[in-house]
A and B are shown apart, each in its own frame.
Chain A
Amino acid sequence: MSEEQAKKKQGEGEGEVEAKGKGKGKPGELAIAGVVSITDGASLMEELDEKPKAPLKIPSLEGPPEPKETFEEASRRAIPLKPRLSKAERGSRLFFLFCAILAMGQMLLIMVFLFTESVGLVFSQGGSPGVSLGSFLFGRDWYPTYPDPSFGAFALICGSLAVTLVSTAIAAPLGLGLAMFLSCVAGRRTREFVKPAVELLASVPSVVLGLVGMVVIAPFLQQTLNLPTGLNLLNASVILAVMATPTIASLGEDALSAVPQDIKDASYALGATRWETIWRVTTPAALGGLSTSVILGLGRSLGETMVVLMVAGGAAQIPNSLFDSIRPLTSTLAAEMGETAIGSRHYQALFALGVILFFMTLAFNLLAWYLSRRWRTRR
């Protein structure tokens, strides 16, 4: 190959990169123009397929044939630089995009509204001094309806975290065990029976579970443990665990089932027992998905309202034991929002609790998303 040819070849390569980047080549260079038409043509092939075809024309009905198009027109028709979209196509596409953006924009809207409703809390208003961010987040007294009200959300945040952690401590082993059962132990028939049952459990309304907690579990705890009341942290955690278990189980099963059969087979071929395969091969391979499932279960417990409203007791205190009455963020919101005047201090404080709750669940969700992404890229 001569030096000139090599140079030309190199030029072509560069031109190709540039053509891809810009979508058109430099006009003067023939070789590059050729490359352009090829790359553009390839990318346009799909779009050509979508171009609406003209209806079939029968010459005898249409009159004399239209004048022949010039070469330039013909070539433009063969490789249209911008495919024309019909009105319906463009309209529908816009509508679908609008829906998608609305679905996402809701997130922003929620944030904006929570903020605008709560931001007045930090400013003084009608003689009452503003509540500083520090005293709101870390203040221990939540007395919103006193003549001299105090808005300290720390006990409520602690209540939320406590009930979330205890319920997940119960739900994670149950849910993960169920996931292992569904994906590794159960036969096909058993699975087809158990899986819908688990989904059924997930769809039991929370208020019904709360009712059962009040009527069944509370008296049971009160009598067996000799407590002043059965409405406490433990009761709420047990009921929340019932709600979170199906979430963890079904997401965990997806993660375990996504592990390629090859490596399980390889493990069995090495003589490993089923448990050794589950514990040493399948679980480590699915770890990202499994932790995602547990975190989403955490998020579900954190955001659940009716159960904690009905069975957690409702005292705004930092819990010292499993049998303390607590008042998580969600139940505070639901219980007090009905009695506040719109725009009042208390109303603003409740929206501020909503902001805290929103960001706590957002953090859990992003963590889950990050873990599942990391896990996917590693596989």
Chain B
Amino acid sequence: MFLFGYSKEARKRRDQLATLTIAGLAGFILLVLAALLVYIFVQGISAINWEFLTQFPRQSMTKGGILPAIVGTLYLALGSMVISIPLGFGAAIYLAEYAKQGPLVSVIRLGVANLAGVPSVVFGLFGLSLFVTTFGFGRSLLSGCLTLGLLTLPTVTAAAEEALRQTPSSFREAALALGANRFQAIRQVILPAALPGMLTGAILALGRAAGETAPITLTSATAYSPALPDSPLNEAMALTTHIYNLATNGANIAGTRPQQFGTALVLMAIVLGLSLVAVILRARLRRSRKW
């Protein structure tokens, strides 16, 4: 009973107990992560073989592979980056390099920050209303890419702005002092220095786009497609929606568990692989940075 009062002994005990608790919480979370990864790997690896990765689904998706879902997810994720990287980098350059503190900038910043918190399903509604209906793209890869692009835009912008801000201002001043105008300074000095950091953010956003489900169920995904999409206006399958369909309204929910976890494993490999690339890139960047 040394937990109360202010004797030296009690304070020491409390300190030890609290440290143990905090470390225990951290350990618990790591354990959850490890258990999750191991469980999905063990459950999914049995389904994975060459056929699973390269074939179309057969027999109401209870047999066969997931090739169209893999291709669809890659199209959607990469296509969304085509939208969000130019716009996000442009917005970040404006915010970090051109904007002077003022009401316009604080409104833009607040908008970007709030946008990052808007639920993905609301983006799905927005995409459904704007791209699918108003623009008449229908439920298609194009609508899905545009929606995911807007969804990842705030993430890309925030990460790119952060990277730009970390470039030392001496770079900027040196370029300007040599007679470069601001655009030349940005293009030839600041961007090369900040680009790895900006790309790290973009890779993380790519992973996020690949892992999204709700927005694409509303704008582009189909449960089954007999061919790979050959136009941006085709519907496409995606890994995430494939898992959801198999697990909740498939023809044989319990019987297709291996396929569900196999698909989940492929998805995790793509998403976590991208995150890992970003994490490693960032660590190397931090080490190699000379400022």
Contacts and interface: CB of A to CB of B under 8 A. Distances in A.
Interface in B181-209: 181-183, 186, 204, 207-208
A276 B176 CA distance: 50
Nearest to A176: B25
Interface string B251-287: 0000001001100100110011001100100000000
Contacts of A203: 204, 207-208, 211, 271-272, 275
B93 interface: yes
Interface in A92-138: 92-93, 95-107, 109-110, 113-114, 116-117
Interface stretch (B32-40, B52-60, B227-235): B32-40
A182 B22 CA distance: 9
A276 B25 CA distance: 18
A366 B113 CA distance: 9
Contact of B181 (A52, A117, A185, A354): A52
Contact of B115 (A49, A106, A342): A106
A156 interface: no
B130 to A, nearest CB: 6
A110 B118 contact: yes
Interface string A66-106: 00000000000000000001101100110111111111111
A107 B114 contact: yes
B5 interface: no
B26 A177 contact: yes
Contact-size category for B: 35 or more
A255 interface: no
B29 A198 contact: yes
Nearest to B214: A305
A96 B15 contact: no
Most buried by A among B11, B111, B114: B114
A337 B119 contact: no
A242 B21 CA distance: 18
Contact of A103 (B12, B111, B119, B186): B111
A234 interface: no
Contacts of B12: 273
A275 B16 CA distance: 8
Given A206-B211, A303-B118, A306-B214, A89 B182 contact: yes
A160 to B, nearest CB: 10
A184 B23 CA distance: 11
B121 A103 contact: no
A194 B30 contact: yes
B112 A104 contact: yes
A53 interface: yes
Interface in A175-221: 177-178, 180-182, 184-186, 194, 196-201, 203-212, 214-216
Interface in A288-329: 296, 299-300, 302-306, 309-310
Majority DSSP secondary structure for residues of B touching A: helix
A274 interface: yes
B236 interface: no
A358 B181 contact: no
A98 B93 CA distance: 11
A211 B243 contact: yes
Nearest to B244: A207
Given A102-B87, A361-B119, A53 B179 contact: yes
Interface residues of A, number: 98
Contact of B182 (A50, A107, A174): A50
Contacts of A185: 19, 22-23
A360 B29 CA distance: 29
A186 B22 CA distance: 10
Contact of A96 (B93, B133, B214): B93
B217 interface: yes
Contacts of B32: 201, 242
B15 A275 contact: yes
A198 B36 CA distance: 13
Interface string B234-249: 0000001001100110
B154 interface: yes
Given A110-B123, A210-B247, A358-B119, 7 more contacts: A50-B176, A103-B108, A104-B111, A104-B112, A181-B22, A205-B211, A365-B117
6 contacts: A50-B176, A103-B111, A109-B126, A208-B267, A310-B244, A334-B121
Interface of B: 11-12, 14-15, 17-19, 21-23, 25-26, 28-30, 32-33, 36, 39-40, 86-91, 93-95, 97-99, 107-108, 110-115, 117-126, 128-130, 133-134, 150, 153-154, 157, 176-177, 179, 181-183, 186, 204, 207-208, 210-214, 217-218, 240, 243-244, 247-248, 257, 260-261, 264, 267-268, 271-272, 275-276, 279
Interface of A: 46, 49-53, 85-86, 88-89, 92-93, 95-107, 109-110, 113-114, 116-117, 173-174, 177-178, 180-182, 184-186, 194, 196-201, 203-212, 214-216, 242, 245, 249, 273-276, 278-279, 296, 299-300, 302-306, 309-310, 330, 333-334, 337-338, 342, 350-351, 354, 357-358, 361-362, 364-366, 368-369
